[in-house]
Structure 1
């Protein structure tokens, strides 16, 4: 996966739902602040911050954003470090309503979650990926 040559703001401006668009802009600002990296649009409509190189035991390797999100139609998908559920259960308990998947955190509305807990998950993900 690689960043694409498309500006982030027009992508976010095109998010159809007004609340989701506002949440996406707020999440973009939060991730930029925590990571210290500017947003970049990656393939598949992911807004990513920074980059890291990964290599699996199988030999497969590539680049990915340190942390990122995608403003999908029904929710925000936040891309965190793999295994975050096992790594940070107390932080997730404070977060508020969410769903989890392998490396993905699904949020309906930013207003419903604890910003401090979300900030902590983003910060820890960036730190792990930076090594």
Structure 2
């Protein structure tokens, strides 16, 4: 499957596919008549790359994670540490947003009370 076919069929942005090729992480990908040909294993790796991007990994972090994955031996702890760091950052962001929403709700509540008092006074 060519880069365009993989992009269209699996909705993978071309820049992600080109990045993958640039990293040299293609296992069985072969160049045929100047075009990369992707196999099922490559598509599985690309799926993981998309997941890593979706959960907030930078391109550099994705490349590091994928290189560790391909090394396999003794890299599980490093990859787990990377995932745990992203998880902690995501939870910190969630908690920050929850505090923001609570403060907004407090302001909204006060404003609604003021409006209600004004309407009652006008009656």
- Bin of the TM-score, shorter chain as denominator length: 0.3 to 0.5
TM-score, normalisation: structure 2: 0.36
TM-score, normalisation: structure 1: 0.34
CA radius of gyration, larger in: 2
Highest relative contact order (Cα 8 Å, sep 6+), 1 or 2?
1
Bigger proportion of residues as strand = 1
Bigger proportion of residues as helix = 2
